Amino acid sequence: MELTILLGALFLLLPLLVTKLYKECNSKRKLPPGPWKLPFIGNLHQLVDCQSSELLPHRTLAKLASKHGPLMHMKLGERSAIVVSSPDMVREVMRKHDLNFSNRPVLLVGTEMFYDHADMGFCNYGDFWRQMRKICIQELLSHKNIQSFYPKMINEITNLVSSIKNCASEGSTINMTETLSLYTNSVICKASVGRACKNQGSLIEIMRTVAGSAGVFDLADLFPSVKIIHFISGLKYKLRKMHDEVDVLLEEIINEHEFQSSEPTEEDIVDVLLRLQKSQDFSIPITRDNIKATIIGYESLI
């Protein structure tokens, strides 16, 4: 029975392997040297150091670079990667060839959580990225905007000190890691969504999960064309579920900002984005999805 299942799996994967090999053999790209590659998985097996019980890819890459040079090509599943491991080569890449390396790979977290790469962090380099960078520098992170957040920071610091003082006077223990984390979360939340942060706890909890998912190694991102891996890993389903939850919260936040826009108050990041959306001063219109994705980007800092 097990042999039948194995043979069936090999039969299904055989056309895929042949297609991959054909494409690689006919590729005319001039790539740097690198370690030998296996069909389908490429160099994934070499990221695991068999002499160590710990998974430390950076050490494995250093060993491979000492053998193959400071500019090394590796194949991670279907993804092609260039490993740069010397200061001179990094300088060459970042200064002279920065545009060639400016795009980010299409990842599930960017597609599912960030409204199909609608924020500056996940979108490709181009007119939209330059427009969003300009908005971030001149509006969202301008000196005036940063100064407007200062009173909120002072208020949160006062609350933090009072909380620590009360615990000390009562002789009770305090988890400083959790306390400082809550302080940081509150400052970022109030700076980004301000007065409408009614569901701060739910929003922070989801954003922590999003940030964790963004930094997690997942096979689905290395084999984007093999849909069965997406199903097996479960990451796509998990991200879509989180997206649906956070989308409801973001709609409430944006709707409340739109409803209260006539009231005189200090602008937070949502106010700024809504104002710029209404101004229609940009060659590429700012959509509601752009606003939501930007909010998620800021909230993910927590």
pLDDT digits (tens, 9 = 90+) for 3-37: 454 445 445 555 555 555 555 554 556 889 999 99
Domain ranges (residues) in the chain = 30-101, 127-299
The C-alpha atoms of residue 132 and residue 282 are separated, in whole angstroms, by 10
Residue 116 has pLDDT above 90, yes or no: yes
pTM: 0.78
pLDDT of residue 27: 53
- CATH, range 127-299: 1.10.630.10
Q: Which residue has the tokens 């068999």?
A: 50
* Span 188-227, pLDDT tens digits: 887 787 764 566 667 777 777 777 777 677 888 999 988 8
Residue 182 has pLDDT above 50, yes or no: yes
With a CB cutoff of 8 Å and minimum separation 6, the contacts of 3 are: none
Q: Which residues pair with 75 in a beta bridge?
A: 80
Cα-flanking dihedrals φ and ψ of residue 236, to 5°? -60, -45
pLDDT of residue 297: 86
pLDDT of residue 6: 44
pLDDT of residue 3: 46
Q: Which residue has the tokens 């909230």?
A: 299
Task: Spell out a b/e string for 263-275, using b for 16 or more CB atoms within 10 Å of the CB, else e.
Answer: eeeebbbbbbbbe
Instruction: Report the chain's terminal Cα–Cα distance, integer Å.
Output: 50
Please report which confidence band the pLDDT of residue 287 belongs to, taking 50, 70 and 90 as the band edges: very high
SS3 38: strand
